[in-house]
Structure formats: C-alpha cells, structure tokens
Amino acid sequence: MPISARQAATAVLMTLRQAGHEALFAGGAVRDLLRGEPPHDYDVATSARPEQVLDLFPHTVAVGAHFGVVVVRYGGHDVEVATFRSEGGYADGRHPTRVVYSSARQDVLRRDFTINGLLYDPVTDRVIDYVGGQADLEAGRLRCIGEPDARFAEDRLRMLRAVRFAVRFDLTVDPDTWAAVQAHASEIGAVSAERIRDELLKMLTGPRPALALVRLQESGLLAAILPEVEALRGVTQPEAFHPEGDVFEHTRRVLKHLVPPADAPPWRVEALFVAALLHDVGKPATWKKTDRVRFHGHAAVGADLADDITERLRLSRRQRTRVRALVADHARFLDVRKMRTATRLRFLRQEHLEDGLALHRADRLAGSGDLTDWQFCREELERLSEQQLRPAPLLDGHRLIALGAPRGPAVGRLLRALEDAQLEGQLTTVEAAEAWVSEALARQKEEP
C-alpha cells in the first residue's frame, strides 16, 4: 500500500534516530503545518554526516553531499536529508565556500527567514523555535533571521524569495528586511538566470501574480531583472479603450484576470503567464500620439522583445515559441470578425488558440471589458466542425506538378491559394480543384 510523503519522511527520521542521530523536520514543511496547509514535501535536518546517511539507506542520491545534503528515496518519495551545518564565505553571492557541520540551533541561524527556520519533532509533536518564527507567522510578518544585509549578501536569490513568500502567504515584510531588499536589488544579477526564472515563474503561477508584479516593482527587483516591464510605467494609453491607466497598470490587471485553460500542462501555464506579463512590452517603443495615442505594430515589436527576454531567462524552447506566438497574435483577436473566411479559419485552428483566448479575455477584462470578439471566437469554435477547420487537401504538390506547376516555391504558393479557395467554400471536389489549378496556371502563362 502506498505511503504518504509525511509517513516516508517520518520513517527516514526514525531510522536516523534509531542509529543514534538527532533528526527533525525542518523548513517549509514546518511552516506549512503551522499554517494548516499540507506540505508538498518534507525535509529532514539531522546530526548525521552525509556518509552516515548514505550508509543507513540503500536508495540515495548525493545531490549535494559536499554541502551536507542527501536525497533518500523511501516508499516512492524523495526525502531531502541535510546535516546540521553553518556556512560562510559566499564569494559568488549564492554558494558557500565553507561548510561546517554544527548543531540544530546553528543550522537554523544560517537560514533565510524566521518562518522557514522552524524545526518540528513529529514524535512528540513539538515545535522548536530559535528565531521567533511562530510569532512572525501569527503576526503575518516576513523577517530575515539575523541581519538582513548579511542574509542577502550570502545569497542574493533570497531577495526574490522574500517577495514570493510575502505574496504567497499574504505577509507584511519587516521594515528592515524590506529596506535591505531595496538597497541590494540591483545586485540580483549575480544570481543565475535559471534561478531567477524559477522564482519568477513561481510568482506568476502562484495565487497573486498581480500583487507579485507590484511588489517586484516596489522592491527595485523588476528594474533589475525585467527592465522592459519596468519601462511600462507611465506609458499612457487612450482612455476610451484603457480607462484603467498606463500600460503597467493594464499589465497588472491582465495578470489578475488571467485564467489558464483547465487542461493546460504546467509548461503551458508558465508560458501563458509570461506572455501575459510581456504582451505589451512593445508599447513603449511604438507609442505615438496623432489624433489619439496609438501603438502601431506593438505586437510584432513585443514578440521580438519577448523572444529576447525569454532567451535571457532560459525558458525552454517550446515555452519561448509559445510566448512569442501569444504576444505576436494577442492583438489579432480584435480583427477576427473582419477577417476573410480562410484567414479566420486558419487563425482559429492555431495550436496556441486556447491560450490566446485566455490571454485575450484577460486583456479585455483589464481594459474596456468588451468580450465581443472573445465570445465570437468561442461560438465559432462551437459551430465549426473539424472538417471545416482542417479540411483534407483536395490536391497535393505532386498532383500540382503533374498538372504543369513549376517545381519550387510556386508549388507552395499554389497550395495555399488552393486551400484558401477550399476554406472559402469555392472548391469542394478534386475535379473542381484540378480545373481551378489548370486555369490558374494558364493565366500565369498569359501574364507578361
């Protein structure tokens, strides 16, 4: 019978204790238990050295043994087991150059925030709190353990984690901790793009992405990691279409209103939220006031910028492709009812359409609130059959060549024109298609 993550972690903890070592639950799992939220996983902190942990358990992965961390595979779960330690010499602002095995108390004092510095004994149901983490949880406060400047100098990623935890758990950041974030925000570039990306994606797909954007901006971190989004502040929009305010405020509201498709896998959800964040990054460069403020070509400019940003953040190739497509197409929904039939059907059968519709809906709710085009697309998708959206080709390239089409790019152009006529309902049979092609080729020969 399968066991739970807690049962697996407790079994690992008891094995360590039976071997004469101190062992306790530590970190986020304790925080979540005290908040009444089931932890996703459990970490065990112990006095056992990594080599002792490796000897005790048959299935392990020494993912960070030089830092005192071993992953124990038990009952279908991965339990991270970390030796009590203190650290020092953070030359790169991320990784310690010196690790000293120590006591439970010293181990807690090296951690980031008081709410993450709690220990728990599941046998006696006792919380061990050396840093006032319980009081901070009860007060709704996020506070660094010890001196904030020192904590962020040790690991600058903690500044992003401060924003994420404060937003996720609805906490007020302690004034000294917040002042330190603002003072050191420009130093976040010392952290790898992958780690920054991971924190950003957790914020965007978390419970309050709109608030996360605001807190990132207020902290100074947004300007450091996404200056293109910071640049949206103060970019005015036509009030008739955007009564909500500037482009930054509009983007905040888009994140607030965005609801991903229910069946979207995590990679798509992440890409969709990134696209929502970046969908208007082309507006500052294309802002122009004529009869009113206009942003001609902002989607195309934004797509290029989004491509650069997602490459900088090391998103996966398929996520980068999806983000670019969503940004490039987000304004086309406003023209969908005016499109010729073939163009509209091609638009409605795009692979990213469902995500595009989710973004368009949020885009409209964040501005004028007019969902007419969104509703039209939904009704069209309900009305159209798969055959109407993706009819089987009446002819292929080989047949076109047999009918006299010259080899090369001309075949592709002719195939597209043929599909246009098919989508428009002008051609329904192979015979009619062949006659249409013969006439088209004859006209081309007559042209000078």
Kindly give the pairing relationship between strand 172-173 and strand 141-142. Answer: parallel
252 and 217 share one domain: no
pTM for the model stands at: 0.91
Are 169 and 131 members of one domain?
Answer: no
pLDDT digits (tens, 9 = 90+) for 39-56: 989 999 999 999 999 999
**Sign of the CA dihedral with 34 first, then 35, 38, and 42 last:** negative
Tell me, what's the pLDDT at 448? 58
The predicted model gives 348-371 an average pLDDT of 96
Pick the closest to residue 334 from 306, 382, 367 (CA basis): 367
Same domain, 360 and 396: no
Q: How far is C-alpha 374 from the geometric centre of its chain's CA atoms?
A: 24
215 and 261 belong to one structural domain: no
CATH number, position 174: 1.10.110.30
pLDDT over threshold 70, residue 249: yes
Neighbours of 300 (CB within 10 A): 14
Helical H runs in 36-125?
Answer: 50-56, 104-109
Question: What pLDDT does 293 receive?
Answer: 82
Considering its fold, how many domains does the chain have in total? 4
Give 21's Cβ-side CA count (13 Å radius).
26
User: Do residue 147 and residue 178 come from a single domain?
Assistant: yes
178-234 pLDDT tens trace: 999 999 999 999 999 999 999 999 999 999 999 999 999 999 999 999 999 999 999
Residue 65, pLDDT above cutoff 70: no
Q: Is the domain of 248 the same as that of 382?
A: yes
Question: Residues of 208-217 as b/e, b for ≥16 C-beta within 10 angstroms?
Answer: bbbbbbbbbb
Q: Do both 32 and 110 map to the same domain?
A: yes
> Computed from CA positions of residues 184, 189, 195, 197, in that sequence, does the dihedral angle turn out positive or negative?
positive
Burial class of residue 334 (count of CB atoms within 10 Å of its CB; 0-12, 13-18, 19+): middle
Which tens digits make up the pLDDT trace of 258-317? 999 999 999 999 999 999 999 999 999 999 988 888 889 999 999 999 999 999 999 999
Q: Are residues 251 and 357 in the same domain?
A: yes
Q: What is the predicted pLDDT for the residue at 6?
A: 96
Last residue of one domain, picked from the residues 390, 410, 433: 390
Q: Residues for the chain: how many in total? A: 448
CATH number at residue 50: 3.30.460.10
The string of pLDDT tens digits covering residues 314-334 is: 999 999 999 999 999 999 999
Query: Do both 135 and 150 map to the same domain?
Result: no
Looking at 123, 139, 155, which one is the last position of a domain? 139
CA gap 448, 443 in Å, rounded: 10
Beta strands 77-83; 126-129: pairing state: unpaired
How far apart are the C-alpha atoms of 351 and 258, rounded to whole Å? 19
How buried is 276 (Cβ within 10 angstroms: 0-12 exposed, 13-18 middle, 19+ buried)?
buried
Structure tokens at 437: 């092609």
Residues 373 and 285 both lie in one domain: yes
Distance CA 342, CA 346 (A): 6
Task: Give the Cα separation of 414 and 168 in Å (integer).
Answer: 54
Which residue's entry shows tokens 């009812």?
337
pLDDT tens for each residue of 68-117: 899 999 999 999 999 999 865 555 555 555 668 889 999 999 999 999 99
For residue 348, give the CATH number of its domain: 1.10.3210
Residue that terminates a domain, selected from 375, 390, 405 = 390
E-state strands within 274-422 = 287-289, 293-295
Asked whether residue 69 falls in the same domain as residue 190, the answer is: no
Same domain, 32 and 86: yes
**Mean pLDDT to the nearest integer, 26-39:** 95
Collapsing DSSP states into helix, strand and coil, what is residue 282? coil
Domain that holds residue 312: 229-390
- What's the DSSP call for residue 245? -
